[in-house]
Structure 1
């Protein structure tokens, strides 16, 4: 998996308005109606992470989920991160 340049990352982020790039990772924050909905989305995301064998750094406080994606083996962002971000967006969108 090869590291993406800052320019490529910024171009790819145009498809992901809820995500931003800094500190060698792409980051998003999602707010849900309540804890149950947030936890439900996290559970579905967890299954997708296992399927892709790619796991985020994330945190949850009540109804807010914060996610950071980077490919640790190359210490930065790769296509693998955008593939998982795309799946996360689909899961979160279904939740709305």
Structure 2
């Protein structure tokens, strides 16, 4: 009985760590792209926050520090509650 429990815990640990690595890989992409996008922003912390939200939803970030939103229509079309562009 103890052997079965230990085996179950080890398998659970391996499966959990695999899912964790996959989710972290996606955030590295967004972190690096948003760092470039927000590098010249006046409120860099706010820019990084909203860029990260948009990147997670759209899986892309336009190149450069401003404009080029046609490269990523999903990123371009996300709006905040006031109807203004959500993504920097």
Shorter-chain TM-score bucket reads 0.3 to 0.5
Larger radius of gyration: 2
Q: Greater strand share, 1 or 2?
A: 1
TM-score of the two chains, using structure 1 as the length reference: 0.31
Greater helix share, structure number? 2
TM-score (norm 2): 0.33
Q: State the structure with bigger RCO (CA 8 A, min sep 6), 1 or 2.
A: 1
